[in-house]
Amino acid sequence: MGRMPAVHDRHGLRLMAIHAHPDDESSKGAATMARYASEGADVLVVTCTGGEEGSILNPAMDQPGVAARMAEIRRQEMEAARLILGVRQEWLGFVDSGLPEGDPPPPVPDGRFATIALGEAARPLVRLIRQFRPQVITTYDESGGYPHPDHIMTHRVSVEAFEAAGDPDRYPEVGVDAGLEPWQPLKLYYHLTFHKERVLALHEEMMARGLESPYAERLAEWVDRAEDTGRLTTQVECADWFETRDRALIAHATQVDPTGWWFRIPLEVQRDAWPTEDYQLARSLIEVGMLPEDDLFNGV
């Protein structure tokens, strides 16, 4: 893939990235955000829950007292990651649903994010959209990227808020009644992080260099689905910000082991084999021309 020249002035452009938990912003679209922020765009991460139910996934952080302070620690980690990426961040204030385990899995406890009525859950997000006035929003697809109830709920509230924020008759309590004008975002994107074409390219590059690929088993078990065909519409060149992305991810120290799976593909392999972060353009209210595109702000 060819290298895309940097754009040095994106002032006046605003990107809102909506995520379920602290750390999600650093594993999905982080290099894109860091690039746009470095070029002058205003980038806001919206975190729907506090990540209170997160397990300690980094053995180095499995220390007395850490689990009891998880909510506080995850806020500190989020602040550190935000600063590394050069973005702003807001909390919606909902409680982490946790990941129910079992067959069948037990229901999510009442009062958690995934159980909140859609209108109630979307209201603070509509308010933020009307305040921040983004042209572009990124979020998860219908599956949540993986079937965590908070990720699926994040998709639902993101779509609801995208459609409602520009309508003065919807959510007036966080609109005209609160002194906020309607605002209609122009484009809505879904993250495509682990699609087959990218995973295969990384795997083949590792094998070509005589390195062990962490994707061999995943590819051997991969089941192609008709609904995944043609979803990739947008590839943002951001290889120069992969290192920034990794530093932001490592800042979520309770959740990320710096010696773990996330970091088994060397950065030079990633830059050579797949130097983009990838998206599906799910909704656009403006003409974008021919697809695929290489810029979330294409047409804005």
pLDDT > 70 fraction of the chain, expressed in percent and rounded: 97
Structural domains of the chain sorted by starting position, each given as residue range(s) with its CATH number in brackets: 14-195+230-284 (3.40.50.10320)
Hey, which residues does 284 pair with through a beta bridge?
187
d(CA 35, CA 57): 28
pLDDT confidence tier of residue 7, bands split at 50, 70 and 90: low
pLDDT > 90 fraction of the chain, expressed in percent and rounded: 88
pLDDT tens digits for range 236-248: 999 999 999 999 9
Note the pTM of the prediction, 2 decimals: 0.95
**Does the pLDDT of residue 137 top 60, yes or no?**
yes
Q: What is the mean pLDDT of residues 211-235?
A: 93
**Does the pLDDT of residue 259 top 50, yes or no?**
yes
d(CA 269, CA 250): 19
Q: What is the mean pLDDT of residues 67-92?
A: 97
H-helix segments, 28-172? 30-38, 70-85, 118-132, 149-164
Other beta carbons within 10 angstroms of residue 76's beta carbon come to 15
In this structure, which amino acid lies at residue 59? P
Q: Are 53 and 109 in contact (CB under 8 A)?
A: no
21 among annotated binding-site residues = yes
pLDDT confidence tier of residue 102, bands split at 50, 70 and 90: confident
Q: What is the mean pLDDT of residues 47-57?
A: 94
11 among annotated binding-site residues = no
d(CA 20, CA 27): 12
103 among annotated binding-site residues = no
**Does the pLDDT of residue 169 top 60, yes or no?**
yes
Q: Are 45 and 25 in contact (CB under 8 A)?
A: yes
